[in-house]
Structure 1
Amino acid sequence: MKLNWKPRICMVKLLCTWLRRMGAMILLGCFLLMNGMTPLHLAVWYSLLYEDCSTVKTLLESNADCSAEDNEGITPINHLSKGSANKKLRELLYSHLEEQRKRKAIEACSETKAKMDELENELSNIVGLNDLKTQLRKWAKGMLLDERRRALGLKVGTRRPPHMAFLGNPGTGKTMVARILGRLLHMVGILPTDKVTEVQRTDLVGEFVGHTGPKTRKKIKDAEGGILFVDEAYRLIPMQKADDKDYGLEALEEIMSVMDSGKIVVIFAGYSEPMKRVIASNEGFCRRVTKFFQFNDFTSDELATILHIKMNNQTEDSILYGFKLHSFCSVEAISRLIQRETTEKQRQGMNGGIIDPMLVNARENLDLRLNFDCIDTEELRTITLEDLEAGIQLLTQ
């Protein structure tokens, strides 16, 4: 029997052609993936060549990202030509892109609500400072709305938080607010980290020529991505120069030189009146520092509120962890106690600095009045108004 080899030869040729084509496809696919392309990029490219949308459809049903960019910033949709030959593919991609944008917007909305709730929880621990709280809400809400705008495919510019000055007496919460601010600005995406680098004059100013610049630049480097908090900033500019070897102004100028870089947020803090020297010492200060917040002295009611907040937010490493206030220790009762046992001058001199030592003294008074044979668990851990009174009297003597 004579075999007909012609069909077999044709099949072999077709098989070789197919293998060559597939080999080329595989090599090209590897090259494209190395260029940062996703499987959807490659599927769109294949569909344009062979008018087969099945792979694209399968990937989209598995929620492949239509807006993913390769190393050159090209999305799968960017591969489409403007001709009508790709109408089916175009409709398919744009339809899924719109669905994905809506889904991302819904997810962003849920995340936004959670972050705003977290913001409000943090702000609830700040007593007073309503102007600052309003500003924080503006920044946070703006950033979170930008997240939603981007999720919907809108192009929006990057926000940059302003540099600030916190003005007020000691104990008014400037350092505490700076730490909270660091966490909040990081939470809403304004800052890449939540670190707050706290410095004073001694951390920045050297004792001899050529020492201050490197010392200050090191602290600036440490603070990159977060907040540089310059406490008692007025000490950089002495009221009267004892000699010509004071390098505080050099440290200030080093800080001012990086404030336009966007790498850090700087907060200058100090008494209101002496801070005027810092403002006047550099003509670019008010151009760079655009937000000034006044930290007023706390009233007796506010100090009592701070005491309650502290008792309700004790951590395990606190000396007061596990203790609680007696039911008679209301905000009103503690406010009357503080008003009675302290002078206005003492309150202005210490402000919130009264609270921690007052509570420590109160706990020691509780220990003093209890007997060793006491087995009442409530009595063992309850601080009374009598204890608080003894605590503040010891503090103000």
Structure 2
Amino acid sequence: MSVFPYSTYEDIPTLDDVKREISSIVGLHKIKIQLEKIVEKIISAENDASYSFRVVPPKPFHMLFVGNTGTGKSTVARILGKLFYLSGSLPSYDVIETGLRGKMKTGDGGILLVDIDERDLDSNKLEEIISVMDEEETSVIFAGNRIALNQSMKLNKELYKRFSASLLFDDFTCEELAMIIVKKMNDQGEDSPLRGFELDASCSTDNIAKVIGEESFEELRSQLNAYLVDQILLEAKTCLEKRVGSKPETKISLKDLGMGIGNATQIYKKLLCM
């Protein structure tokens, strides 16, 4: 339910849905606390509205998401989009992800998540984004590492004063990456390439974390974070299939996972020229 419930959507997100999404996030403890505070404010506003108190929705604001690739910035943006919509701040909970290379997509009353890469900075595109920010119908989030964001602010001195909040996304630890692996294997969609496969009993979170620490290296984990997980699991599945041949085996062992981590590490090491 929204304080301002007008919507053209068939499936309107509820606070309960969003609370479940927040609780399922791995890591990002400080950010989760901030998201939960927004939920509390929405609940308080809805209680006031139920007693016929006049509730003025907060104005949309713009944010900086500071963090490396794969640290959950898109996930948090989607949650914030729903929270801003439910609070009446935005007329849409759509999140449009775009960059500064090529034709820029624009928001439509929801969130415009702009991926900032120091290699693609364009002063003309930044001017376009400033015009979107000033319309007050879209919340703009700049997402990138600290170097890229600092360079974008230097390129256009008008940018920084338009941002009201900044969230820091830490790199995932080996333990958190292990939790993501277990979660991804337990929550597979119908189109998952790992559909029908599962981790065997040897693949506890602690054991997986230990193997991640042994078979990968910190610089790569820092560059990729959760983006490393899909390749690890695909490589582990391949290792299982090679190990059992034509046997109908679907349980990925810790050894398969360890080999998958090593193979994924080598693949990305070559791709990233590390």
Q: Deviations 1:297-317 (Å, cap 9, x if unpaired)?
A: 111111111111211221111
Q: Which of the pair has the greater relative contact order for Cα pairs under 8 Å at 6+ separation?
A: 2
Aligned to 1:135: 34
Among 25, 36, 49, the alignment partner of 1:150 is 49
Q: Deviations 1:46-103 (Å, cap 9, x if unpaired)?
A: xxxxxxxxxxxxxxxxxxxxxxxxxxxxxxxxxxxxxxxxxxxxxxxxxxxxxxxxxx
Aligned to 2:259: 390
1:123 aligns with 2:22: yes
Q: Residues 278, 235 of structure 1: CA spacing in aligned structure 2 closer, same or farther, 3 A cutoff?
A: same
Equivalents in 1 of 2:136, 2:39: separation in Å? 18
Q: Residues 373, 258 of structure 1: CA spacing in aligned structure 2 closer, same or farther, 3 A cutoff?
A: closer
Q: Equivalent residues in 2 for 1:166-185 (5 A)?
A: 166-185=65-84
1:351 aligns with 2:225: yes
Equivalents in 2 of 1:203, 1:331: separation in Å? 42
Give the CA deviation at 1:153.
0.8
1:283 aligns with 2:157: yes
**Number of corresponding residues:** 255
1:364 aligns with 2:234: no
Q: Residues 349, 301 of structure 1: CA spacing in aligned structure 2 closer, same or farther, 3 A cutoff?
A: same
Among 219, 225, 250, the alignment partner of 2:109 is 225
The amino acid that maps onto 1:170 is T
Give the CA deviation at 1:319.
0.7
Give the CA deviation at 1:184.
4.1
- The answer on whether the counterparts of 1:140 and 1:185 sit within 8 Å (CA) in structure 2 is no
Provide TM-score, normalisation by structure 1.
0.60
Provide TM-score, normalisation by structure 2.
0.84
- The answer on whether the counterparts of 1:143 and 1:159 sit within 8 Å (CA) in structure 2 is no
Q: Residues 382, 281 of structure 1: CA spacing in aligned structure 2 closer, same or farther, 3 A cutoff?
A: same
The amino acid that maps onto 1:352 is A
275-284 or 192-201, which deviates more: 275-284
Equivalents in 1 of 2:123, 2:182: separation in Å? 42
1:159 aligns with 2:43: no
- The answer on whether the counterparts of 2:177 and 2:225 sit within 8 Å (CA) in structure 1 is yes
Q: Deviations 1:122-156 (Å, cap 9, x if unpaired)?
A: 11332222222222222222123212212211112
Aligned to 1:199: 98
- The answer on whether the counterparts of 1:199 and 1:228 sit within 8 Å (CA) in structure 2 is yes
Greater helix content: 1
Name the larger-Rg structure: 1
Aligned to 2:200: 326
State percent identity of aligned pairs.
38
Equivalents in 2 of 1:340, 1:130: separation in Å? 25
Equivalents in 2 of 1:185, 1:323: separation in Å? 38
In structure 1, list runs of 5 or more residues that go unmatched. Answer: 1-104, 106-113, 205-215, 238-247, 375-379
Equivalents in 2 of 1:135, 1:283: separation in Å? 28
Aligned to 1:267: 141
